Structure 1
């Protein structure tokens, strides 16, 4: 048991020095204007040296407090690992965003190796420029805006963690820039490529040797088909959909359309699914005994607080993008004609392209359907101006 003894007072009693046996070093404590006590070791055995160190710490702490600067500093690696643990905890609790997986990967693979030994409150704009140059050398090409945006989001998560614990102030966060190479077009699939995907998804599903593999591919098949027939974003926006978010919408002519409420990057919105989505949702419903006792209409009317995209064991998975990458390699469609890798996000761009090619839906309606801006639609799909007529979303 540690016992406090040899109390000494300096600076008119503002700074207290003491020892805690069996520790031989002098400790100090003092109270700042915010009425909070601060304690630290002087790391000195001799009292005169301890007084000098304690008063210097006290004066520096008062200065930092006056200008709203942190009293403690932490290495970037320590804060980054703490930020990762917090995101992993939120994911385990079911309240974390799917994009956290991307942040965690970015922090571990790129940010920690570069900034590890740097104090988090000492990172400057020059350090960020050096990091950008280092990544450019590694990739042997200019960084894309989307890549820099991901780095910035990951860094902001780390800075927020440091600020919340008093290890840095908001004024110490360096300006973050995402000026990179902008892609003129985003990887998508042509009509012929999409036909190959539709045909091969079922074949690939049945080729799985293990039950868990077949279940993953079974879910991936319907996930891919639904994404491409709704235009919703993969990840948080689609993975968080529950059966209670799906309803029938009836127009003035009594035509029914499936309407899905999503909440993601741009907030909450309701989108209209193409008619064939009904087939895919019924197929998902049929995998679960508790859902299969109802008709589809009864299922929607029940407003169940249950996730739609689940494996047969009832659990969600974060591995659909990796599984889709394996499938694309299997069918030889991983890269587009420009050499860029395609991902689940490419299905959203495929939806936009095919919708614009179909007929009478303009870019304003498409922007609302997809939860994006007209500017973004024009920016990425301007090459379709000659075919900007679409018949319908369904």
Structure 2
């Protein structure tokens, strides 16, 4: 193809006029060093030159496109789910339309302002520092993907920082009276024409006790328990123990499976849940059958509202805090509790230090 006229804009960008058309063509090198040809759709040379930047920029992906490209390559695990949730819910809605190489510090600042505001509106509290760090980690993972794939240079990306996160508050636990009210609530006796609702309420009634007497985390930990992960045995002394193997959750990625003890008071609840799990036709036969922990969480919120006990900081996870609080006040060694609950003595001291101090004081004055 013959060229009638050519204008070099710089070493990697030029426009030219072929002999078979009056429309100026653009030829440039992309970020990977590959020559790309595009039509400017302009017959006037000045207007053709003016359109060059917009044409090249049109090939730069938006943040939302890079997020989806990154997501497709990630393994399906808890970390990925946390990052994807942060991206979809708190990041993409505010900067998803931006070009990946054109995000300003103001865009990031506005994103945090809007996300934190929406978080407060929906959750009834400010996000913790760890939540904001998770948002940062998710966005940095996408930024790293963009850099590695030549979509952007690291100098074009804004810096991320956390300044406004709230410090962790004391864990909220249920009182004995509150637990009694929840377990004996008329909520579980309410008639419903929906069979699924009836099954969820039945499951919730005993799921509460199962968490209360094991200290297991509601969510990924409890969701991954299969019927075969629980076994019981009598000791030589005639004591009865029930063991639960935790294979999924917050700490298993780093420490592997752990075995926790289900207290005797929770054995009946386990047997009732076994009835639900036995209906599961899946390969692993989940203890909760086909009932998701998300549905149980929603039902528990309805239970709290039914009893007039709802607070934003009370949830099924609070049953774990109730378990730990009771054990600490009983004088159970923190090392035993940490092993049972899949946490560390440092974390217990950080979140329950007021209880251990209180216990120490009571022992010192004996």
When normalised by structure 1's length, the TM-score is 0.67
The reply on whether 1:241 has 2:237 as its aligned counterpart is no
Query: Any conservation in 1 of the 2:280–2:289 contact (CA below 8 Å)?
Result: no
2:364 aligns to what?
none
Structure 2 counterpart of 1:64: none
Q: Does 1:330 align with 2:306?
A: yes
Cα 1:40–1:198 change in 2 (3 A) is: farther
Instruction: Determine whether 1:307 maps to 2:325.
Output: no
| Cα distance, 1:353 vs structure 2 | 0.8
Query: For residues 109 and 253 of structure 1, do their structure 2 counterparts lie closer, same or farther at Cα, with a shift above 3 Å needed?
Result: same
1:82-231 paired onto structure 2 within 5 Å: 82=68, 86=72, 95=76, 97=78, 100=81, 104=85, 107-123=87-103, 127-135=107-115, 139=120, 143-156=127-140, 158-159=142-143, 162=146, 166-168=150-152, 172=157, 174-177=159-162, 180-200=165-185, 203-204=187-188, 206-231=190-215
Map 1:10-25 onto structure 2 (within 5 A): none
User: Does 242-251 or 362-371 show the bigger shift?
Assistant: 242-251
Question: Structure 1 residue 52: deviation in Å?
Answer: 6.9
Secondary structure of 1:264's match?
A: coil
Shift of residue 330, structure 1, vs aligned partner: 0.8
Task: State the alpha-carbon separation in 1 of the partners of residues 30 and 169 from structure 2.
Answer: 58
CA displacement at 1:263 relative to structure 2: 2.6
* 1:170 Cα deviation from its structure 2 partner: 6.3
CA contact (8 A) 1:242 1:305 kept: yes
Quote how far apart the aligned CAs of 1:190 are.
Answer: 1.4
Mapped to 2, the partners of 1:310 and 1:383 lie a distance apart of 39
User: Which consecutive unaligned segments of at least 5 residues does structure 2 have?
Assistant: 362-366
Inter-partner Cα distance in structure 2 for 1:348 and 1:6 = 77
Distance (whole Å) between structure 1 residues aligned to residue 359 and residue 317 of structure 2:
22
CA–CA separation in structure 1 for the residues paired with 2:166 and 2:49:
54
Q: Give 1:346's match in structure 2, choosing from 318, 324, 328.
A: 318
Check the 8 A contact 1:260/1:273 in 2, yes or no: no
| Counterparts of residues 363-374 of structure 1 (less than 5 Å) | 363-374=334-345
Match for 2:350 among 356, 363, 379?
379
Whole-Å separation in 2 of the counterparts to 1:305 and 1:377: 33
Query: Secondary structure at 2:294's aligned position in 1?
Result: coil
User: Kindly tell me: are residues 99 and 224 of structure 1, through their superposed partners in 2, closer, same or farther at Cα, counting changes over 3 Å?
Assistant: farther
Say whether the 8 Å CA contact 2:42–2:48 is kept in structure 1: no
Unaligned runs of 5+ in 1: 62-70, 293-303, 390-394
Structure 2 residue matching 1:319: 3-state secondary structure: helix
CA distance in 2, matches of 1:352, 1:18: 77
TM-aligned CA distance change 1:224 to 1:319, over 3 Å: same
- Equivalent residue for 2:261? 272
| Deviation of the 1:381 alpha carbon | 0.8
- Alignment of 1:356 onto 2:302: no
Q: 1:272 to 1:309 in 2, by over 3 A?
A: same
CA distance in structure 1 between the aligned counterparts of 2:70 and 2:208, rounded to whole angstroms: 29
Change (3 A) 1:261 1:134: closer
The size of the alignment, in residue pairs, is 343
Q: Is the 8 A contact 1:98 1:236 kept in 2?
A: no
Cα RMSD of the aligned pairs, angstroms, is: 4.6
Offset, 1:377? 0.7
Change in CA separation of 1:153 and 1:208 when aligned onto 2, cut-off 3 Å: farther
1:341 CA displacement: 2.9
CA contact (8 A) 1:324 1:343 kept: yes
CA 1:133–1:239 in structure 2 vs 1: closer, same or farther (change >3 Å)? same
Alpha-carbon distance in structure 1 between the residues aligned to 2:329 and 2:42: 80
Which stretch has the larger CA shift, 274-283 or 47-56? 47-56
Distance in 2, matches of 1:320 and 1:157, equals 32
* Alignment correspondent of 2:243: 258
1:75 equivalent among 62, 86, 89: 62
> C-alpha distance in 1, partners of 2:91/2:228?
40
Q: What is the DSSP-based 3-state SS (H/G/I as helix, E as strand, rest coil) of the residue aligned with 2:244?
A: strand
Describe the superposition over 1:228-253 as per-residue Cα deviations: whole angstroms up to 9, x where unpaired: 22222222222122233334477675
Greater mean alpha carbon deviation, residues 150-159 or residues 234-243: 150-159
TM-score between both structures, scaled by the size of structure 2: 0.72
